[in-house]
Chains A and B, each alone.
Chain A
Amino acid sequence: MAELTTGDDGNAPLDGVQIDLISTERMEGLRTMEKIHLILDGVRDGNIVILERGLDPDEESKLIEVTMGEIQPDGDGFTGIEIETYPGGTRNESGLLGRVLGRGEQSKLTVIGPANRIETLHKDENLIRTLIRRR
């Protein structure tokens, strides 16, 4: 297959995986729903979206809610998202005290991709190993 052929969305090359690494600064200027649509638009195009700084719990909750609304079983094949964050554990600090002390969920690196193309092979405190399938 020719390298220059594009996918059926006319976007990503057929044989590659596009990765969007979104900076903290880019996300900071956006409202919750703008962030969520930025992420989901990328993922629905088949891209892997990496956030330098993750979402806060309220945004994560809305991300799940909106993702559910976009899954159409007889539609375009979108089956939802796979998401991994770093560091992974909740380990107490995200409670009230942690937030008062201003510790960061801030620094939480987050990887989001289409569920039907991304698979977490291994995850522990120090390593997330992910397989991304070609389309």
Chain B
Amino acid sequence: MGLLTSIRSSISKLFAASEPRRIGIYGPPNAGKTTLANRIARDWTGDAVGPESHVPHETRRARRKENVEIKRNGSSVNIDIVDTPGVTTKVDYTEFLEHDMAEDDAIRRSREATEGVAEAMHWLREDVDGVIYVLDATTDPFTQVNTMLIGIIESQDLPVLIFANKIDLEDASVQRIRNAFPQHETVPLSALEGDNMDEVYDKIAEYFG
């Protein structure tokens, strides 16, 4: 191998190392994905990603925060975080009406939600380098959507961390999530209260660095 080739390969390695890895935040609606994305972005860049809400399908377009540099033990990892719409197999606009929404707003929300989910699925096949799968630890993790999504992520051989969110709530069960997905690392946290964020960043650095 000539000098030029070896220079070229070390240059490309240099770029590969500094190129941020794109980490998709996936999970069912209302799990706390945006709350988490905002916390990560605020902790390391100072500003937020998008609005949070108790009404499902608040996030209807994948939103990206680029070049988030997370410092751990003297080294740093550089990631782009992508907050995605909650994945589902069904959207019924009439359910939004129960949240005091006018009919045409509900229809618009529904249409945006379906487009956003389709886009998020497409991205998962083409465009992410790793996945944080966020679950609300107060709800049953053993759902078809979770099983399918984890299966899809595994089939792409993407590194994945499962985040058991909302541990500040009394009926949260991290163990139930560990039992449902024993093959993956589960990290407990409260994205809202900021509980256990040190371990969260350690694991992000370990898995996606």
Which A positions have Cβ atoms within 8 angstroms of B?
56-58, 60-62, 64-69, 71-74, 79-85, 88-92, 94-96, 99, 105, 115-116, 120, 123
Contacts and interface: CB of A to CB of B under 8 A. Distances in A.
A74 B147 contact: no
A73 B122 CA distance: 22
A115 B154 contact: no
A64 B90 contact: no
Nearest to A66: B118
Given A60-B151, A64-B87, A85-B144, A73 B111 contact: yes
Contacts of A91: 182-183
A120 B142 CA distance: 13
B152 A58 contact: yes
A120 B90 CA distance: 14
Secondary structure at chain A's binding surface: helix, strand, loop or mixed? mixed
A34 B109 CA distance: 30
Which of B87, B91, B152 has the largest number of chain A CB atoms within 10 A? B152
B110 interface: yes
B157 A90 contact: no
B157 A71 contact: no
A73 B183 CA distance: 38
Nearest to B90: A80
B107 A68 contact: no
B32 to A, nearest CB: 21
Given A71-B114, A95-B183, A115-B89, A61 B142 contact: no
A65 B88 contact: no
A84 B144 contact: yes
A80 B88 contact: yes
Secondary structure at chain B's binding surface: helix, strand, loop or mixed? helix
A117 to B, nearest CB: 11
Contacts of A96: 154, 157
A74 B89 contact: no
16 contacts: A57-B151, A57-B154, A60-B148, A61-B124, A62-B121, A64-B89, A67-B90, A73-B110, A74-B107, A79-B90, A81-B90, A85-B147, A88-B142, A88-B144, A95-B157, A116-B92
B149 to A, nearest CB: 9
A79 B124 CA distance: 23
Contacts of A84: 144
A94 B181 CA distance: 12
Nearest to A108: B151
Nearest to A115: B90
B125 interface: yes
B55 interface: no
A61 B117 CA distance: 11
Contacts of B91: 68, 71, 73, 79-80
